[in-house]
Amino acid sequence: MINVEHLVKAFGPKLAVNDVSFSVERGEVLGFLGPNGAGKSTTMRMITGYYPPTSGRILVGGHDMVENPIAAKRLIGYLPENAPGYADMTVNGFLNFCAELRGLQGDARKRAVYRAVELCFLEGVLYQSIDTLSKGYKHRTCLAQSLIHDPEVLILDEPTDGLDPNQKHEVRGLIKRLGENKVVIFSTHILEEVEAACSRVIIIDRGRIVASGTPAELKARSPEGKLDEVFRAITLPDTVKHDANHEVRA
């Protein structure tokens, strides 16, 4: 469903994503792990067609994101980092706007908005304007937007960021359920989340894939069978060196 081949993104001389390749099929939930600044969001922005890649190829459902962006974007629902939304709109207005841009009209649109509102528990804030929402509700509003057209592919950048424990639990359940017959790619800093929801994990560090496999396979790499130790063993030495370099230069 999603094929990413030798993806590279350069910002000036800096390589934010450096030769990343993977593919995800229907029925898989892929988790992105990695330290801050690893390139998770940048990779997702390329897959969703926001950043054009410096080089490499992205196929979504067989459509090339660079050559045929509209067809590829139709298949994707995207929750960007920080869950942006139009401050002056109500939740209802915002969701209807997004549904319209997805080509939904009339009754189909009403049903789609209703379904997304139910999935994300937004009934209570439907007519509140987005800039007065709490962080968690703002996040859920943007998540609802990504689900509105019942997409084949979901790309979620830190979907549980800022949610309360109950909502975190709900969203994990939702990801797992959706992953049964769709493609879900999500990034997170919470390692338990990976175990709870992913069928496969990719660990990215400084723009490169440094490990990939099922949560169980990764856990087996540590003597105690703990994911956070594996994560640290793979990424910590590098980040320390990396930070030290930064300080010397600064």
Q: Does 160 bind Mg ion (CB under 5 A)?
A: no
Least distance (Å) between residue 153 CB and ligand ATP:
19
* Sign of the torsion formed by the C-alpha atoms of 157, 85, 138 and 82: positive
Q: Which stretch binds Mg ion (CB under 5 A): 22-30, 80-88, 90-98, 112-120?
A: 80-88
Shorter beta-carbon distance to another protein: residue 89 or 196: 89
Binding track, positions 130-149, relative to another protein; x by CB under 8 A: ------------x--x----
Opening angle at CA 223, ends 217 and 226, nearest 5: 60
Q: Encode 141-172: b = buried (16+ Cβ within 10 Å), e = exposed.
A: bbbbbbbbbebbbbbbbbbbbbbeeebbebbb
Pick from 17, 24, 32, 41 the residue near Mg ion by CB under 5 A: 41
Q: Which stretch binds ligand ATP (CB under 6 A): 32-40, 106-114, 124-132, 217-225?
A: 32-40
- Give the C-alpha separation, 51 to 44, whole Å: 9
Q: Does 12 bind another protein (CB under 8 A)?
A: yes
Residues in region 46-105 near another protein by CB under 8 A = 48-52, 54, 69-71, 73-74, 76, 78, 80, 82, 84-89, 93, 97-98, 100-103
- Give the C-alpha separation, 76 to 88, whole Å: 25
Q: Does 53 bind ligand ATP (CB under 6 A)?
A: no
Shorter beta-carbon distance to another protein: residue 63 or 232: 63
Pick from 42, 145, 167, 188 the residue near ligand ATP by CB under 6 A: 42
- Give the C-alpha separation, 71 to 92, whole Å: 26
Shorter beta-carbon distance to ligand ATP: residue 63 or 208: 208
Q: Does 36 bind ligand ATP (CB under 6 A)?
A: yes
Residue matched to tokens 């590098």: 238
Least distance (Å) between residue 140 CB and another protein:
15
Residues 6+ apart with CB under 8 A from 132: none
Least distance (Å) between residue 37 CB and another protein:
15
Shorter beta-carbon distance to another protein: residue 87 or 240: 87
Least distance (Å) between residue 39 CB and Mg ion:
8
Pick from 1, 3, 8, 37 the residue near ligand ATP by CB under 6 A: 37
Q: What are the residues binding Mg ion (CB under 5 A)? A: 40-41, 81
